[in-house]
């Protein structure tokens, strides 16, 4: 029988040392902190026992909360919920014990984890890896339930994910994970509509259809507003609405910083973020120019391999740059000194996703608004720059876009022959289908690669680590086989480490349990950020750019059908068990979705205006080529005035288009939000439940107060007492009947 373990603390028993004296001091410090840790847990009513870890110098401390302490934690949470007005609160009753069997696994783990890791100000023990008091704690985690995991994965393999399964997910992993799967299910189902429209437009309509773009924008606004109400319904049903009011303080939070000082710190980080965004924009634009123009013009040695240069540059530069930015973003977010973890996560999410969105969408934006309409002009500029690589910038920038074919030939004849000098040949290499190819790469190829990175790569890395450790190939956490030594004498020899539980006669089941614990300790923590970021980025591709390729929603739908299952498999196989978290919203991701829908109004209107076909028989052209030909072609000096006037007309048209699209989006959002509030929320069972629970709690509270009052205080008064002796004579005489009788006599 496996022991019931609530939490696991990973303790670092030894650190890297360089001398025996340092090793002795390190061991003494570890012994003191470990003893203090165990003593703190025992005094708090938590059983704790240590076992050796997977690595040398690592200990795992297994925790089990006593029923008495858990009773106290349940009452304390109910008391806190009642004071701060959560929707499912009941009046705390000191005379009646809570039924611990009614607690879900997620609720039990959340209560204990919150008690162990919360600061002393919030009534916790303050034991966490972020605490300055505990320097040797690497992490606090909880263990998977293998039986539930197996049943869950089998059910997902046999049937589609339904909303009814979300309650089961919540009972095991908490509201945070359940809300993510609820969002994923809702988003996937909403894709059916836009996928059907995209299929019809792709096979029956024409490119850059205004009908498809309009329906696409309507779908994106409706989905965002629908989810805004839907998550409110889930929070009411799960009893987590307003949970931010009872959120614990972060261990790193320090008192003494006012709200306006925190706001100033947030504003101080904006110039740094803008600087990183500008540098990232420049890097990506440079890689874009190399990929779209320079590699196209190059015809020297190795030209068949030069097309890989932009990809190599991207892989070598961009991830490192984003990693550097992430460090600064984390530092700034810590400096902002947020009181609660949800506010800290929201601030860091917005900082991180802002640059991730630039990486995701800038390539398409440059292709749509630079490469296709101004490709020939840019090609002329690049050819001239290459031909005059020894000249200064000032000598060619003013006239680079006005070069004739003969001028470029003359410059090329005097230079090297590694690049294409023929203007006609260079312009013929411009790819009109570049936008469609990019959309296919982003919505199909990249999603296949991401699925492998999430599901397949962890198996490969686990097998590599297992082989390096001399354990043979281990993919699923169990040893499948062993490599033989080079001499063929069987498994490689390694030093045998004796098990303490073997000496103590511990059962085989317990040894297997400890091996499972050690395997789970070696897994990375599960982070919702990556999953939310993937889905929100995909939503951006569909909402902003699927006018280019209407099959993008279909590819997103197929990916998400698999994503629902791959995310579940990743949680149970490749990550530690998610720590339960009570929340009532997806947080900053809803703001990101709303921002993307606003940008979608701009991009869709621009794409339709720019690429709408003049008729169904002519090849693809742009509005710039048709209506502003002088701007697109880069005319000679005699027509500079006409070219300037054409450019001004283009800018005015673009500005009016952006203003119209932005204001149209605001009106559409207001109408959709009002209608959905009326249809989905007003009169719904969730609204009635929230109001009923709030009323019942108040009634029970008043009943409890009245029960403590004297009996006469609440008694109904049935008769007016006689006036007290000596009372005012005014109350002892009534003229009403006398007046009535007098009137009767007169009649």
Model confidence pLDDT, tens digit, residues 10-67 = 999 887 766 888 888 888 999 999 999 999 999 999 999 999 888 888 999 999 999 9
**What span, in angstroms and rounded, lies between the C-alpha atoms of 648 and 669?**
32
Q: Which of 12-16, 75-79, 726-730 has the lowest mean pLDDT?
A: 726-730
**What span, in angstroms and rounded, lies between the C-alpha atoms of 307 and 295?**
6
Q: Residue 323: pLDDT above 50?
A: yes
| Predicted local confidence at residue 428, as pLDDT | 67
Is 562:189 a contact under the CB 8 Å cutoff?
Answer: no
Read off the tokens for 605. 């209107």
Q: Is residue 53 part of a domain?
A: yes
Kind of pairing, strands 137-141 and 46-52?
A: unpaired
Residue 558, classed as helix, strand or coil, is helix
Give the phi and the psi of residue 460 in degrees, each rounded to 5. Answer: -65, -45
Is 616:594 a contact under the CB 8 Å cutoff?
Answer: no
The H or E element spanning position 276 is helix 259-289
Kind of pairing, strands 58-65 and 137-141?
A: unpaired
Q: Is residue 110 part of a domain?
A: yes
Residue finishing a domain among 113, 141, 169: 141
**What span, in angstroms and rounded, lies between the C-alpha atoms of 110 and 173?**
9
Model confidence pLDDT, tens digit, residues 460-500 = 777 777 677 666 565 555 544 433 333 444 444 444 444 45
Task: Residue 259: give the domain boundaries.
Answer: 254-337
| Predicted local confidence at residue 451, as pLDDT | 83
Distance from the first to the final alpha carbon of the chain: 101
| Predicted local confidence at residue 376, as pLDDT | 75
- Among the listed residues 221, 213, 198, 224, the one whose alpha carbon sits nearest the alpha carbon of residue 605: 213
Q: Is residue 115 part of a domain?
A: yes
Tally of structural domains, the chain: 2
| Predicted local confidence at residue 260, as pLDDT | 86
The H or E element spanning position 10 is strand 7-12
| Predicted local confidence at residue 610, as pLDDT | 82
| Predicted local confidence at residue 490, as pLDDT | 44
The whole-model pTM stands at: 0.84
DSSP 288-333: HHIIIIIHHHB-STTTTTGGGHHHHHHHHHHHHHHHHHHHHHHHHH
Unique residue bearing structure tokens 């029970």:
700
Q: Is residue 265 part of a domain?
A: yes
**Domain identity same for 12 and 133:** yes
Stronger pLDDT, 399 or 173, i.e. the higher one: 173
| Predicted local confidence at residue 677, as pLDDT | 92
The number of residues in the chain equals: 747
Is 6:109 a contact under the CB 8 Å cutoff?
Answer: yes
Looking at the chain, the whole-number percentage of residues with pLDDT higher than 90 is 39
Q: Is residue 296 part of a domain?
A: yes
| Predicted local confidence at residue 185, as pLDDT | 93
Alpha helix stretches (DSSP H) within 546-679: 552-573, 588-611, 623-627, 629-633, 640-676
Residue finishing a domain among 322, 337, 352: 337
Residue finishing a domain among 122, 141, 160: 141
**Domain identity same for 134 and 259:** no
Q: What is the CA radius of gyration of the chain?
A: 35
- With cut-offs at 50, 70 and 90, classify the pLDDT of residue 206: confident
Q: Is residue 325 part of a domain?
A: yes
Burial profile 465-503: b = 16 or more Cβ within 10 angstroms, e = fewer = ebeeeebbebeeeeeeebeeeeeeeeeeeeeeeeeebee
Read off the tokens for 504. 């103590």
Q: Is residue 41 part of a domain?
A: yes
**What span, in angstroms and rounded, lies between the C-alpha atoms of 212 and 203?**
12
The H or E element spanning position 190 is helix 175-204
Q: Is residue 529 part of a domain?
A: no
| Predicted local confidence at residue 228, as pLDDT | 94
Is 248:76 a contact under the CB 8 Å cutoff?
Answer: no
């Amino acid at each position: 029988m496996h022991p019931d373990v609530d939490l696991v603390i990973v303790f670092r028993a030894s650190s890297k040392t360089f001398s025996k004296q340092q090793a002795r001091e390190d061991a003494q410090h570890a012994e003191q902190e470990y003893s203090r840790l165990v003593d703190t847990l025992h005094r708090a009513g938590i059983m704790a026992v240590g076992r050796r870890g997977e690595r040398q110098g690592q200990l795992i401390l297994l925790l089990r909360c006593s029923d008495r302490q858990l009773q106290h934690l349940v009452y304390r949470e109910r008391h806190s919920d009642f004071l701060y007005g959560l929707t499912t609160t009941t009046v705390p009753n000191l005379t009646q014990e809570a039924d611990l069997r009614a607690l879900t696994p997620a609720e039990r783990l959340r209560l204990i984890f919150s008690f162990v890791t919360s600061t002393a100000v919030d009534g916790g023990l303050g034991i966490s890896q972020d605490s300055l008091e505990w320097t040797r704690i690497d992490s606090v985690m909880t263990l998977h339930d293998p039986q539930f995991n197996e049943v869950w994965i089998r059910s997902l393999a046999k049937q589609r994910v339904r909303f009814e399964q979300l309650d089961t997910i919540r009972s095991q992993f908490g509201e945070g994970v359940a809300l993510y799967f609820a969002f994923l299910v809702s988003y996937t189902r909403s894709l059916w509509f836009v996928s059907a429209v995209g299929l019809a437009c792709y096979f029956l309509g024409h490119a850059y259809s205004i009908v498809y773009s309009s329906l696409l924008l309507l779908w994106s606004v409706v989905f965002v507003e629908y989810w805004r109400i839907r998550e409110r319904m889930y929070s009411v049903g799960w009893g987590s609405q307003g949970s931010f009011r009872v959120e614990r303080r972060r261990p790193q939070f320090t008192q003494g910083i006012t709200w306006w000082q925190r706001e100033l710190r947030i504003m101080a980080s904006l110039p740094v973020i803008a600087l990183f965004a500008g540098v990232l924009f420049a890097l990506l634009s440079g890689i874009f120019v190399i990929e779209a123009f320079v590699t196209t013009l190059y015809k020297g040695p190795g030209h068949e391999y030069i097309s890989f240069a932009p990809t190599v540059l991207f892989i070598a530069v961009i991830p490192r740059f984003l990693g550097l930015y992430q460090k600064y973003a984390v530092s700034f977010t810590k400096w902002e000194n947020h009181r609660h973890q949800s506010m800290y996560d929201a601030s860091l999410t917005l900082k991180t996703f802002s640059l991730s969105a630039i990486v995701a969408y800038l390539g398409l934006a440059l292709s749509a608004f630079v490469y296709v309409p101004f490709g020939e002009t840019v090609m002329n500029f690049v050819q001239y720059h290459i031909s005059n690589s020894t000249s200064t910038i000032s000598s060619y920038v003013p006239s680079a876009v006005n070069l004739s074919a003969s001028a470029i030939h003359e410059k090329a004849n005097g230079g090297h022959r590694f690049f294409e000098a023929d203007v006609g040949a260079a312009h013929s290499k411009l790819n009109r289908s570049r936008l469609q190819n990019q959309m296919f790469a982003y919505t199909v190829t990249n999603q296949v690669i991401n699925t492998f990175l999430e599901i397949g790569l962890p198996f490969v890395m686990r097998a590599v680590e297992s082989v390096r450790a001399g354990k043979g190939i281990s993919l699923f956490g169990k040893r499948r086989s062993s490599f033989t030594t080079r001499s063929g004498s069987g498994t490689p020899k390694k030093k045998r480490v004796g098990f303490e539980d073997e000496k103590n006669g511990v059962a085989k089941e317990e040894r297997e349990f400890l091996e499972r614990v050690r395997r789970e300790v070696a897994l990375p923590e599960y982070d919702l950020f990556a999953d939310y970021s993937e889905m929100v980025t995909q939503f951006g591709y569909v909402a902003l750019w699927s006018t280019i390729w209407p099959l993008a929603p279909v590819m997103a739908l197929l990916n998400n059908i698999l994503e629902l299952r791959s995310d579940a498999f990743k949680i149970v196989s490749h990550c530690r068990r998610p720590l339960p978290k009570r929340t009532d919203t997806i947080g900053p991701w809803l703001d990101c979705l709303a921002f993307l829908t606003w940008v979608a109004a701009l991009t869709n209107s621009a794409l339709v205006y720019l690429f709408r076909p003049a008729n169904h028989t002519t090849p693809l052209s742009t509005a710039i080529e048709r209506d502003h030909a002088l701007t697109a072609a880069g005319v000679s000096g005699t027509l500079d005035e006409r070219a300037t006037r054409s450019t001004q007309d283009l800018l005015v048209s673009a500005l009016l288009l952006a203003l119209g699209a932005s204001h149209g989006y605001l009106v559409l959002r207001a109408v959709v939000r009002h209608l959905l509030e009326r249809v989905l929320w007003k009169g719904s069972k969730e609204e009635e439940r929230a109001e009923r629970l709030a009323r019942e709690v108040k009634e029970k509270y008043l009943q409890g107060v009245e029960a403590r009052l004297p009996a006469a205080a609440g008694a109904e008064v049935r008769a007016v007492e006689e006036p007290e002796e000596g009372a005012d004579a005014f109350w002892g005489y009534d003229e009403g009947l006398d007046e009535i009788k007098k009137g009767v006599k007169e009649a």
